[in-house]
Amino acid sequence: MKPNAPPAKYAFAYKDVPYSGNKINGLGSTEKFRPVPPFHNTGRGVGREEIPWAALDTFFNMSNPWTVFWENIKGLWERRNAAGPVTRDPIEVTDPKAMADQIKTKAKELGIDLVGITLYDDDSQYREHAFPYKYAIMIGTVMNRDAMVQAPHTPAAKEVMRGYLVGSKRANKLAAYIRSLGWQAEGYGIGEDLVQHPMAIASGIGTLGKHGSLISREYGSNFRISSVLTDLPMALDKPVDFGAEDFCISCKKCVIECPPSAIFDTKQMVRGVEKWYVDFDKCIYYFSDHMGCSICIEVCPWSEPGTGPSLSEKMLKRREAAVNS
């Protein structure tokens, strides 16, 4: 376990223990279905009182140190800018590839670190949270590594909230730009209303790691995800394969370092798909008691700055050699 990480203890006394988050997420289920958000949520669509772990989420938000709480408040204030008026007479889109390039150029101008485009489809929707858009622009906001290596302590928690604040601002600015082109668009700075991971993977900004978070070739897992939903027609990106999956198969770093041993070492069946998965019911107490934790994403070797490209090259060469032998 990470040397400066407090050990796991189970201090929460629910009178009625909430329905298992793993069941809500569909762990062990071969059936495809749309889950409800088990923890973080806005109460939009599904009433907040119906969210099984909402009380623990409230505890999490209210028990953060003031500096972390303040970053969170700034993020909430920023998210009021998520939507706005749309310019009349939309520009005509005859070349979706050129449009995608234009949006990505704008994203870079706004300082966005990672950007990819995919469909907003059934797999990206929580139950009763379907928004009237066709496309999702996925955004990655890189966090300060010096702060994040201090997880699960205050500097890291503050940096996570700052990451969401910056991601919210960038998503809202990009959405406003699209609306200025005459197409409806809305920023989603924090992923409470969207099942973001499948979209982030499909958009090519990263692949799923054993720790249940995204890994990007350039920044490892040291980034936050935000989104813009829109109807603006754009060419879609594709998932990437840079060798992180191969690496995860033989690496156990996050499994060993997770204080409550919440990370499965093998893939699990989740709503009809075999994938890496974190035991929600084990993680969430530690996560809530330690300001969002973040240990697993920061101990991941891909998160070490400058490591990803060489690691990727090594893994892809190793795979090629195995195929040719």
Q: Is 56 in the site for ligand SF4 (CB under 6 A)?
A: no
Q: Is 165 in the site for ligand SF4 (CB under 6 A)?
A: no
Selected binder of ligand SF4 within 56, 195, 248, 315 (CB under 6 A): 248
By the 8 A CB rule, do 126 and 195 touch? yes
- Per the DSSP assignment, residues forming a β-bridge with 135 are 119, 230
By the 8 A CB rule, do 317 and 242 touch? no
Region near ligand SF4 per CB under 6 A, out of 41-49, 195-203, 223-231, 260-268: 260-268
Comparison of 135 and 287: residue with beta carbon closer to ligand SF4:
287
**318: CB partners within 8 A, 6+ apart:** 243, 246
Q: Is 287 in the site for ligand SF4 (CB under 6 A)?
A: yes
Q: Is 211 in the site for ligand SF4 (CB under 6 A)?
A: yes
Distance (Å, whole) CA 220 – CA 188: 22
Query: What is the closest distance, in whole angstroms, from the C-beta atom of residue 273 to ligand SF4 in the complex?
Result: 18
Selected binder of ligand SF4 within 214, 260, 270, 312 (CB under 6 A): 260
Comparison of 126 and 287: residue with beta carbon closer to ligand SF4:
287
Closest CA to 144 of 213, 218, 238, 223: 223
Distance (Å, whole) CA 149 – CA 30: 37
Comparison of 223 and 286: residue with beta carbon closer to ligand SF4:
286
With 0-12 CB in 10 A as exposed, 13-18 as middle and 19+ as buried, what is 164? buried
What is the secondary structure of 234-249 as a DSSP string?
Answer: --------SSHHHHHH
The 299-318 site mask, x for binding ligand SF4 (CB under 6 A), equals -xxx----------------
By the 8 A CB rule, do 108 and 174 touch? no
Distance (Å, whole) CA 72 – CA 149: 20
Q: Is 185 in the site for ligand SF4 (CB under 6 A)?
A: no
Region near ligand SF4 per CB under 6 A, out of 24-32, 65-73, 181-189, 288-296: 288-296
Comparison of 71 and 257: residue with beta carbon closer to ligand SF4:
257
Query: What is the closest distance, in whole angstroms, from the C-beta atom of residue 185 to ligand SF4 in the complex?
Result: 31
**10: CB partners within 8 A, 6+ apart:** 285
Q: Is 251 in the site for ligand SF4 (CB under 6 A)?
A: yes
Distance (Å, whole) CA 257 – CA 254: 5
Q: Is 38 in the site for ligand SF4 (CB under 6 A)?
A: no
Q: Is 263 in the site for ligand SF4 (CB under 6 A)?
A: yes
Comparison of 60 and 302: residue with beta carbon closer to ligand SF4:
302
Comparison of 171 and 293: residue with beta carbon closer to ligand SF4:
293
List of residues contacting ligand SF4 (CB under 6 A): 209-211, 247-248, 251, 253-254, 258-260, 262-263, 278, 283, 286-287, 293, 295-296, 300-302
